[in-house]
Structure 1
Amino acid sequence: MEYMSQEGFDKLVAELRQMENVELPQVREAIAEARDKGDLSENFEYHAAKREQARLLGRIRFKQRILANARVIDTSRLGSDTVQLLCKVGITNLANNSKMTYTIASPHEANLREGKISIKSPIAEALLNKKVGDVVEVRVPAGMLKLRIESIER
């Protein structure tokens, strides 16, 4: 089961609809055009279009599986006393005193540019169920980080 926000769920649905209603018909049209050009054994355009169709169908099946197992979380029912999924967490790296703010998101919604980290990441796993003021140690590829939780918001 995949827990996610309503925004993330809606985005996945929109991506799936785009692939099914726009991209897939375009690929099928490209296959038909390439087929009309004659000998399929030496037709590069036909083989390229078939590969694109297989890739696209794989992505569609993947998105469908995610959506079939998705559960949208009602954020109004979650508390803000501990770090949980969909929390915005303010943390301080105690080694260099730098402050960061991350939102704990599902793996499918994670986007570091937007400040969303996956709940399956080492930092998020270390922060889960901790409270404001707690200090956690996290093993990351660069070594050990000591982080203090400064704030938790919904």
Structure 2
Amino acid sequence: MSKAFTRESEAADVDDDEALPPLPPGGRNYITPQGYARLRAELLQLIDDERPKVVEVVHWAAGNGDRSENGDYLYGKKRLREIDRRIRFLTRRLEIAEVTDPSLHHGGTQVFFGATVTYAEPSGAERTVTILGIDEADSAQGQVSWISPIARALLKAHEGDVVRLVTPAGAQEIEVLEVRYAAPQSGA
């Protein structure tokens, strides 16, 4: 059947990775132990709690007769597809995740995965970023993915180094002021 004649909801289900951050070809999916735990907890919550509740609502709504105008049934089926899509995504990402503990570099002055780096821009402004995995970085929290331009420029640099950052606005020199890592967890 031609793609032109498929229902919109079917077409939306075909490629569920379109809007997701891509991994570099042949690259690894680095992630911190905390990030891995968060993704795993989300996966288990979807499988153990949310999906069974939605299945129950869909089953109940299906028993109410005409499904074409049954809002509970239609919304429930749509939500079930969204949950299943997220479960598939999380399962694939966790399978290929390479857990890397940044606390192993605690006290070091070289930038590696998991570092919190303070750097100075040419204007004199200081910025601080934490280099994390693709699936755990949140720019609103000052976290950047290890494949981002700023992280690529900073990786392997030492405190005091000046590195070249290439952006769409042009290249600039930034100075690494401080490198920090979380302290290793004691116990466990």
TM-score (norm 1): 0.88
Quote the residue 1:123 is aligned against: 150
Structure 1 letter corresponding to 2:52: P
Q: 1:65 aligns with which of 65, 69, 92?
A: 92
Quote the residue 2:112 is aligned against: 84
Q: Is the 8 A contact 2:115 2:180 kept in 1?
A: yes
Q: 1:150 aligns with which of 156, 166, 177?
A: 177
Structure 1 letter corresponding to 2:116: K
Aligned pairs for 1:1-154 (under 5 A) are 1-78=28-105, 80-94=108-122, 96-154=123-181
Structure 1 letter corresponding to 2:76: A
Deviations 1:40-76, CA, capped at 9 Å, x for gaps: 2343432221111011101011111111112222334
Partner Cα separation in structure 2 for residue 106 and residue 142 of structure 1 = 25
Runs of at least 5 residues in structure 2 that lack an aligned partner in the other structure: 1-27, 182-188
Structure 1 letter corresponding to 2:32: S
Aligned length: 153
TM-score (norm 2): 0.74
Partner Cα separation in structure 1 for residue 44 and residue 172 of structure 2 = 41
Structure 1 segments, 4+ long, off by >6 Å, are none
The alignment-based identity, stated in percent, is: 34
Structure 2 letter corresponding to 1:85: F
Q: Which moved more, 1:128-137 or 1:36-45?
A: 36-45
Q: Is the 8 A contact 2:31 2:98 kept in 1?
A: yes
Structure 1 letter corresponding to 2:120: T
Partner Cα separation in structure 2 for residue 142 and residue 126 of structure 1 = 15
Name the structure with the higher strand share.
Answer: 1
Q: 1:18 to 1:142 in 2, by over 3 A?
A: farther
Partner Cα separation in structure 1 for residue 103 and residue 60 of structure 2 = 52
Partner Cα separation in structure 2 for residue 120 and residue 85 of structure 1 = 10
Deviations 1:64-101, CA, capped at 9 Å, x for gaps: 1111112222334447242110011110111x211111
Partner Cα separation in structure 2 for residue 138 and residue 65 of structure 1 = 32
Partner Cα separation in structure 1 for residue 75 and residue 168 of structure 2 = 38
Secondary structure, aligned partner of 2:165:
strand
Tell me how far 1:142 sits from its aligned partner.
4.2
Aligned residues: CA RMSD: 1.8
Partner Cα separation in structure 1 for residue 172 and residue 55 of structure 2 = 50
